[in-house]
A = this chain, B = another copy of it.
Amino acid sequence: MNAEIIAVGSEMLTPFRQDTNSLYITEKLNELGVAVDFKTIAGDRLKHLADAVRHALSRVDLLVISGGLGPTEDDLTREAVAEALGVRVKRDPELIAHLYARAAARRMTITRNNEKQADVIEGATMLPNQLGSAPGQWLDTVVGKHRKLAMLLPGPPHELKAMFEEQCLPRLREIVPKKHIATRVLKAAMIGESTADAKIAPIYTQYKDVETTILAHLGDIELRLTCAKPIPELAQTRVDELAGKIEEELEDFVYSSQGETLEQIVLYYLEMRGATLAVAESCTGGMVAERLTSVSGSSRSFTGGAVVYSNRLKTELAGVDPQLIAQYGAVSREVAVALADGIRERCGSTLGLGVTGIAGPTGGTDEKPVGLVYAAVSDADGTEWVEKRFSGDRAGVRFYASQQGLDLVRRRLM
């Protein structure tokens, strides 16, 4: 069984907006074992929409359409699907009554064009919308001797998700042949995609029944393992076995085997050890602190820190000796270590992290080029530091540097 997703809306044909509903729908369909073979985006024009629907029904078994179900003239999905199927729409008086009742309960008056939302495609089952006014529709029909399923869902993501989850998934589970899919997500920091792939390709290529996908982000890779089997335990055993072998090969580069973020893992380790962390950031300008505090409950282990962009603040807030800066420069191993030591002492935390570097695009020299970053971690046992040279633009260097800083803390806590 294969599927197509059509996202309806002229705004998604501008340079400013993207369809995101299809990512959610794809995830859910894949979990059922249904592959998405096409995605189409069409604007709010009847002719275009009907063409897209007709063509989709000629090439896939299952069609999910999002958007175009509202009350305005631009909302044409119902008419387009009816036209593509060669059937009519019929206004449902009960639904009209419901629309007016819903508006009255909200002390809103609605105009007559809202009645459009009560148009039912011949042969369709209405899908009530608990979170908005536009109901969805479910079609189980035959086109040229083939059974075709089509669902029309509202565009707002929270309405679409609720409707799909509660009303479409149970119906699909009855129809789609059963498969059991097991998934594992491993994450590794500060290892390149090609380096990691060279190490693990000889392993995962031997697991023909497990699909391995590598997603690379800045300073971070994500390995997604999925396996479909008729028996759930079999699928789980296979992904767990492969995950174990990959972890063994990538060693301590792997920081998460359940999909957690690096900042979550750092906070988890801190809490496990009853430790606290403070940071002093130069080139990352608050990014390390921002990433840590994005996690709810981070205040239990993260005390805070300083953004020491100017040399004066390196001394004032993190206690770095001005002579050290004069002698070695603000971007140096010595200053990184002094930042880590200084902020730990000032904040009374168990660990201190210092990050300093040249984010660019200007400010680099032959000796200290753009992308040069020092990170240091300090605790009661002493300090350790790393020197790295990252490539990329300002945003990229800053993210790498924050990732390196967090990873250094993680390794210290391991």
Contact = CB atoms under 8 A, between A and B. Distances in A.
Interface string A10-29: 01111111101001101100
Interface of A: 11-18, 20, 23-24, 26-27, 30, 35-43, 45, 48, 51-52, 55, 59, 213, 215, 224, 278-279, 281, 284-290, 292-294, 296-299, 302-310, 312-313, 316-317, 346-348, 359-362, 394-395, 398
Cβ-closest 3 pairs across A and B = A285-B293, A286-B289, A286-B286
B294 A317 contact: no
Contacts of A285: 289-290, 292-294, 298, 304
Contact of A304 (B23, B59, B278, B307): B307
A289 B402 CA distance: 14
Contacts of A23: 15-16, 18
Contacts of A298: 285, 309
A42 B297 CA distance: 42
B305 A306 contact: yes
A48 B11 CA distance: 26
A359 B294 CA distance: 9
A40 B41 CA distance: 6
Contacts of A297: 362
17 contacts: A12-B39, A13-B36, A13-B37, A13-B39, A15-B24, A15-B30, A37-B43, A38-B40, A38-B48, A40-B40, A284-B290, A285-B290, A285-B304, A286-B286, A289-B309, A297-B362, A304-B317
B303 A305 contact: no
A309 B349 CA distance: 13
A48 B55 CA distance: 12
A26 B13 contact: yes
Nearest to A3: B13
A52 B36 CA distance: 14
Given A286-B289, A303-B312, A307-B304, A41 B39 contact: yes
B26 A14 contact: yes
A57 to B, nearest CB: 13
A316 to B, nearest CB: 6
Given A299-B310, A307-B286, A14 B38 contact: no
A134 B62 CA distance: 35
Given A13-B35, A285-B292, A286-B305, 7 more contacts: A11-B213, A37-B43, A304-B308, A304-B317, A306-B306, A306-B307, A306-B317
Nearest to A18: B18
A174 B192 CA distance: 44
B309 A307 contact: no
